[in-house]
Chains A and B, each alone.
Chain A
C-alpha cells in the first residue's frame, strides 16, 4: 500500500483484560510499540477473578 502520509508504528490498546493483553503481546512481538491502557491499577480483567475455566477446568490465573 502506498501512503502519502507516513504511518505511526505504535498502537493504543484500550483495556487490559485477556483480550487487550493478547492484542498487546501480538503487536509488540510483531514490531510495534504498544500502549496498554487500563482503568484499574492492574491488568488482568475479569478473567483474573475466575477460579477455573471450562471445559478443561484449567486454573484461570
Chain B
C-alpha cells in the first residue's frame, strides 16, 4: 500500500537537492481508465487491429488494445496509440462499445505531474542488443537466425510456440542448434561495445539445456564462444553438467559468416577449430547471444539529469560507493550500473534502498499510510452464519455459469444465512455492501465465489477486518479462473462445477475458527558477524539508518581480507579507502566493535536473539533482533607449482603486498608469469573464484607500468573479466601482456634448475610446448570458504557442497537466509570483489531494516501447532522443517518436557511437518484435517 505504481510515465527533470527533490514526470495516456478496467479482455477480443507482440519479440501478434502478458501488474489493458485505428483515423472504437464498465477513454492526454521526493533510484534497465546491423550473421535476412531473447520466448510455455522448439521459417523442430556468443559484446569493430555483458554465457548454456529437455537428447546443441564465463555461484557446476551430462558441445571459435542453404533454410557455418582446421557445419537454427546495452533514451536521460556515464554508457560509480551516482541523493541499481545477472541486480537494488534510507531515516514513516484498526467481534460459541457472495464478473462468469442459480443453490447449504449475486464482487461499492451485510445479518463467516484467492483474497479479507470479523473466517470459490474461463463450451457442466466448488468452500468455512496472529516485538539492535569490508558496510548502513549495531571480529583489527589488497579494478587504492571506512565505523556512536571476539552460543529467533560473545576469556550476552553473517572467506594455500619452495613463487595477495610496499625489486624483473585458476575450477573445487582474472590482469598492468620492457605472461583457462572489467583485459593485450591458454589436463609446469625458474606450457595457438624463463611466478589462488559449521548450526542456516552459505533464493533472495532474521553478505556467500562485497553488505542491511522497521512482527494465523499429549518426540518435524520452526521443549521443562513445539514466528504454514508427523500430533490451523476432509466429503455429491 505504500508503493504507488506510475505506469506509462517518464521522468523529465529532477530539481532540488538530496533529501528534497522536485521531479517532473510525464504521464502518458493509457486510454483506459485504470479504476474502471476489470481486465475482462472483451476489448482485445473485439479489437480488429493486429500488431506484432513486442512481449514475444514480434514472433506473435497481439491486438492494439492489450495487456503485456497474463500476469501483468497492474492487470489493466492499455491502448497502443501508434496502431489504434481510432486514435490514428478516428474510426472504429469497437473497444469502447464493448467495454462493460465504460473504461475506454480516447480523450486522455499526456499530463505533467510533479512529485516531491527525498531521493531517487535509477533502475531503467538495459536494452537487448539489436544485431540487425551485423551483416555477417544476417539476422535481418535469415528467418532461422534468432536472438537469444526470441529463443527465450520460443522456450516459454506462454510464448508463441507454447514452448515447442520450432523454426521460424517452417515451424519444423530443429535437430541442430548453434549459439553464437558475444554478439554485441566484447566487440569494438562492429558495435563499439568492448565490455562483456556478463550473462550471455550462462543464459546460452541454460537455453541449450532447456531446449534439450524439451526436444529430447537427440537435439544437438553447440555453443561457439571465446571465453566461457561461468563465474557466479553454482555456475561452474552448471557448465560442467551441460558438457558432461547433457552433452552440449562447446566450441572455442568465433564464427564469421553464415550462409543460408536455399532449399532447406538451414544455415551453413564455417569456423576454425582450436587445432586450426577450417570446418563447415550445417545447423537448422542459430541463436545469437545478444548482449546488453544502455538505450539511447536512458543515455539522454542521464545527460539531462547530470549523471556521469562510463565509456560503455553505464552509470559511473566508485567501488566504495557502488550505488551512488555522480549526483548526490540519486542512486543507481540493476543493469544500468553495469551489465549483470538477476541476483546481482537484486543485491544492488536492496543496497540502493539502504543508501536512500541512510539519508532519509529522519523522515521514516512520515508519509507512509497505516491501516485503521477496527476491534474484532468475538464469535466464540456462535453457530456458523455464512454469507455467500457469488460474482458475475461482468460476463466473465455470468456469460458461462448460471450465477443466479448458483446463488440460489448456496442458500440450501448448511449454515448459509444469506446469499447474493453481484456484478463485480471486487468493486468498492460491493465491499461497503458486504461490510454492511455482515453487521446487519450478523454473518460470522463469508464465502466469495468469484475469481482466484491468489489475487483477491487479501482484498476481501480487508473487508472482513473493516467489518470487525477475523480475516480467517473467509473462503473463496474459484468459479472464474478454474471454471467459467476454462469450460466455456459446456455451460451446464460449468454451472454444476461452480455449485460443487461453492459447496466445498461452505463446508470448509463452517469449520473455520478465528485465528490469532501473535505479535512479537523486534529488538532494535543488530549483530554483524565479521568485521571485513562487507560486514563494515552492513554495520555502517544499519547505524546510519538509526540502528544500534554490534560488530564481532575474531581478529585484532577490522578490515578482513581487504587489508591484503592493493587496488580495485577501477584503479582505486584500497588501503586509503579502507582506513576511512574503518575510521567511520570506529567513530560511529551507534556501532560497538568487539575485536578478538567469537560467538559462544546463540539462543532465540528472529526479533529476539541472545548471543554470547567470548572476548579473550570474558563473556558477554548481547540481545539483538537480527544477525548479519559476513564471516568472509580465506585465500587458498597452494601445494602445487612448487609454492613455498622458492621465494620467487608467490600468491596474488603476496604480490599485492609487494606492490603496497613499493618493492623496488619488481622494477628490475625481466619476466613475470601469472598462473590462473590455482585451486579453482578443479574437480574437488568446482567453482570459479570470480576475482582472480581481473586481479592478475590488473597486477600485470601494474608491472608493465613499472617496467614496460618486462615480459609478462598470463597462463589462463578462460579469461573472466566480466562487465566493464573487460577494458582491463583489452588494455593488457594492447600493452603487450601475453596470454597463453592451458587446459586442466595439460597444466603448466614449474621447473627450477640451477637457480633458474622456468614455466613449461603448451601454447594454444601453435600447439607447441614453450619454456618461459622468469623471475616471478604469481599464483592466482582460489578464494576458499571458511565452512563454518558451528555458525551455521547456531543460526540454523545451510552450507553448500563447497562450504559457502546458502542464501534464501539464488535469484531473488541473495542477501538473506530462509531462516527469518538472519542475513548474508560478502565472500561468505561467494567469492566477490570489493565493490560487490560492499554492495551486498548494504543489501543485507536493507533486508534487515525491512524487518527492524516493523518493530513488531505479526505471525501468520495459518501455522502449525503441536498437540503435546499426542507427540511421541520422534523429531521428524524438527529435522524436516525448512524454516527451523519446530524444536524440542527442554527436558527439564515443567510442562511437556521433550515434546516438540513450533515457533509461530518461524512457521510458514507449509504443512510439511503435519503430513510427516507419524503420530498425527501436528495440526495446521486454517488447513486443518477436518477442514480438508470436509471439502473432500462435500465433493462426494459431485464425484
Contact = CB atoms under 8 A, between A and B. Distances in A.
Contact of B124 (A11, A15, A30, A58): A15
Interface in B339-372: 341-342, 345-346, 348-350, 352-354, 356-357, 359-360, 362-369
Nearest to B206: A54
Contacts of B342: 18, 47, 53
A10 to B, nearest CB: 5
Given A32-B2, A41-B72, A49 B238 contact: no
17 contacts: A7-B118, A15-B122, A15-B124, A16-B5, A19-B346, A23-B121, A23-B350, A27-B357, A28-B3, A30-B849, A33-B369, A36-B5, A43-B7, A43-B73, A51-B152, A52-B206, A55-B234
Given A26-B846, A41-B76, A51-B155, A9 B367 contact: yes
A19 to B, nearest CB: 3
A49 B4 contact: no
Nearest to B301: A14
Given A31-B853, A49-B152, A8 B10 contact: no
Contacts of A47: 342
A19 B853 contact: no
B345 A19 contact: yes
A47 B55 CA distance: 11
Interface string B379-413: 00000000000000000000000000000000000
A8 B73 contact: no
A37 to B, nearest CB: 5
Interface of A, secondary structure class, is mixed
A31 B368 contact: yes
B203 interface: yes
B202 A54 contact: yes
Contacts of B9: 37-39
Given A17-B123, A19-B125, A28-B2, A40 B19 contact: no
A58 B809 CA distance: 10
Given A8-B19, A42-B67, A55-B238, 5 more contacts: A9-B368, A23-B353, A27-B357, A44-B72, A51-B153
A42 to B, nearest CB: 4
Interface in B67-85: 67-69, 71-76, 78
A3 B545 CA distance: 14
Contact-residue size bin, chain B (C-beta under 8 Å from the other chain): 35 or more
Contact of B7 (A16, A46, A50): A16
B349 A11 contact: no
Nearest to B55: A49
Nearest to A55: B238
Contacts of B142: none
B19 A7 contact: yes
Nearest to A24: B3
Given A5-B20, A8-B19, A32-B2, A44 B10 contact: no
B894 interface: no
Contact of A38 (B5, B115, B126): B5
A49 to B, nearest CB: 6
A39 B349 contact: no
Given A14-B11, A55-B202, A8 B363 contact: yes
A9 B363 contact: yes
Contacts of B120: 11-14
B356 A32 contact: yes
| Most chain A CB within a 10 A radius of its CB, from B67, B121, B156, B360 | B121
A20 B4 contact: no
A54 to B, nearest CB: 4
| Most chain A CB within a 10 A radius of its CB, from B123, B155, B854 | B123
B123 A23 contact: yes
Contacts of B3: 24-25, 28, 34, 36
